[in-house]
Amino acid sequence: MTATNLFQTRPIGADPHAQGRPFRAYTHRDLDRITAIRHLPAEQRFAMKVVSAVLPFRVNEYVIERLIDWSRVPDDPIFQLTFPQIGMLAPEQFERVADLLRRDAGPAELEAVVSGIRHELNPHPAGQRELNVPRLPSGELVTGIQHKYRETLLFFPSQGQTCHAYCSFCFRWAQFIGDKALRMATNEAQGLHAYLRQQRCVTDLLLTGGDPMVMKTRHLEAYLQPLLHRDFEHVQTIRLGTKALSFWPYRFVTDPDADGLLALLERLVAAGKHVAVMAHFNHWRELDTEICEQAIERIRATGAEIRAQGPLLAHINDEPDAWARLWREQVRLGVMPYYMFVERDTGAHHYFKVPLVRAWEIYREAIQQVSGLARSARGPSMSAGPGKLEISGVADIGGEKVFVLRFLQGRNPDWVHRPFFARFDPDATWLDDLKPAFGEREFFYEAQYRERWTG
Ligand SMILES: *Cc1c(COP(=O)(O)O)cnc(C)c1O
């Protein structure tokens, strides 16, 4: 902390670590060293080892001590959100790995089985790797970038390819399992800037990851400070996708380069950029700590906005009241509700999935409880290959029960906000499960999507 702290807001009470604490993470190798889980049944701890041999696991002391209510484990939503659970693998997959661990199989044998299971879990949903990587005029591929929607460019800085903790439902889980070939990162500030210079239609740059807030401030500066040059006037908005407000709010308050980070945000705002922290929240409990409130206040004091988004998940937040309370708390703290997502069809999808009809009911029943300021949350939205699809509702049209859908974002902007219809299916959990209504052969966008984007 510097002597003159421009962003100091108010003293913090109950948090014994309010003056800061060093970051310490635990991964699957450290499960036996986590004191908080030592009292759990041996069988449950063994199950955690099995699941975390396949799916990424990382947690830190703040999440363990301040977010999880251990008296409510295993049902506690933050425990479900971060710790591996037996149901996250299919019984048959679980048994294959459990068997190897029980007989202490060698690393090569384990790796072969684990890798096979990972490939069964649809590691790269929605054609993320192949479909969205752009080229420079020279023909060179710009790695670490996805350009799917005209206005917004996604950038995956290499120093931000991890998170302060991992979500058990992460849709980018395949990036975190050590297979470098599966990563989407880059350390190429130059490539990013060259691409942005020529793409005058891009108004928003969205740094994502992993979590860009894992990066040191000086790395963030190297990417962002150059955008104040007039070559980048068209880039009006800089978005930072992060879960640090949930998993490590100290990043904005007491970490050694927290003040530097806030000063950077302030400079970008002062130079006329809209800076938006795109915070990932799943449960109101994540907002319910002093340090998180402090972090929010300090970010907002720079002139940056905070918008909040997150998926709807079984075992974590599949109740209207949980969402209404989350959105109300956000508005109270000056955070704008943005998207409610449908969990993608990857990783432990079968554990977290919620039928689309239920997702819509939860959204609707939550929205009805809150004021208009919290109704800025849109959804439930499926981020699929062709675009972001909202389930607008269920209707009865001429005697046929249908889902009413529309694009909130589309690969072709012309698809956006045209209502269309799918046959009602109470079990559908993802776009792939839906069939066109009224005897149509395919949805209105499908022929074009096939032709222009999937070859
Ligand atoms: C969601 C998303 C964006 C941002 O879309 P907005 O609706 O502007 O928030 C950009 N690129 C990709 C690939 C996305 O999934």
Residue 116 is predicted with a pLDDT of 96
**In this predicted structure, which of 134-138, 147-151, 414-418, 434-438 has the lowest mean pLDDT?**
134-138
Place of tokens 């269309």: 420
For ligand 1, atom 15, the nearest C-alpha belongs to 383
Whole-model pTM: value is 0.93
Confidence grade of residue 131 (pLDDT, cut at 50, 70, 90): low
| pLDDT tens digits, one per residue of 73-105 | 999 999 999 999 999 999 999 999 999 999 999
Task: Report yes or no: 135 and 186 within 8 Å, Cβ to Cβ.
Answer: no
State phi, psi for 296 to the nearest 5 degrees. Answer: -60, -45
- Ligand 1 mutation pick, 339, 383, 409, 417, max ligand atoms within 8 A of CB: 409
Its domain, for residue 83, covers 2-120
Q: List alpha helices for 4-74, DSSP H.
A: 42-54, 61-62
Check whether 6 has a pLDDT greater than 70. no
- Closest atom of ligand 1 to CA, residue 148: 13
Through-space distance between the first and last CA atoms of the chain, rounded to whole angstroms: 54
Place of tokens 């508005």: 331
Check whether 5 has a pLDDT greater than 60. no
Span from the CA of 92 to the centroid of ligand 1 (angstroms): 36
Euclidean distance between CA atoms 180 and 170, whole angstroms: 17
Residue 408 is predicted with a pLDDT of 98
> Is position 147 within any domain?
no
> Is position 110 within any domain?
yes
> Is position 263 within any domain?
no
Q: What integer is the mean pLDDT of 390-409?
A: 97
Span from the CA of 413 to the centroid of ligand 1 (angstroms): 12
> Is position 320 within any domain?
no
> Is position 246 within any domain?
no
> Is position 337 within any domain?
no
Q: What integer is the mean pLDDT of 278-284?
A: 98
| pLDDT tens digits, one per residue of 400-424 | 999 999 999 999 999 999 999 999 9
One-character DSSP codes across 264-306: HHHHHHHTT-EEEEEEE-S-GGGG-SHHHHHHHHHHHHTT-EE
* ω into 74 cis (within 30 of 0): yes
Check whether 3 has a pLDDT greater than 50. no
CA angle, residues 255, 260, 265, in degrees to nearest 5: 115
| Closest to 24 (Cα-Cα) out of 81, 55, 83, 65 | 65
Span from the CA of 129 to the centroid of ligand 1 (angstroms): 15
Residue 334 is predicted with a pLDDT of 98
Residue 130 is predicted with a pLDDT of 61
Residue ranges lining ligand 1, Cβ < 6 Å:
146, 148-149, 152, 154, 206, 383, 388, 409
| pLDDT tens digits, one per residue of 196-244 | 999 999 999 999 989 999 999 999 999 999 999 999 999 999 999 999 9
Task: Report yes or no: 305 and 335 within 8 Å, Cβ to Cβ.
Answer: no
Residue 194 is predicted with a pLDDT of 92
**In this predicted structure, which of 329-333, 343-347, 362-366, 416-420 has the lowest mean pLDDT?**
343-347
> Is position 435 within any domain?
no
Span from the CA of 410 to the centroid of ligand 1 (angstroms): 9
> Is position 150 within any domain?
no
Euclidean distance between CA atoms 423 and 356, whole angstroms: 12
Residue 182 is predicted with a pLDDT of 46
Euclidean distance between CA atoms 284 and 262, whole angstroms: 24
Residue 11 is predicted with a pLDDT of 41
Euclidean distance between CA atoms 173 and 175, whole angstroms: 5
In this prediction, what percent of the chain has a pLDDT beyond 90? 84
Centre a 10 Å sphere on the Cβ of residue 315 and count the other Cβ atoms it contains.
Answer: 21
In this prediction, what percent of the chain has a pLDDT beyond 70? 93
Span from the CA of 152 to the centroid of ligand 1 (angstroms): 6
Domain total of the chain = 1
Check whether 144 has a pLDDT greater than 50. yes
Residue 178 is predicted with a pLDDT of 62
How far CA 16 is from CA of 64, 66, 214, in Å, comes to: 14, 10, 23
Average pLDDT, the chain: 92
CA 428 from centre of chain: 22
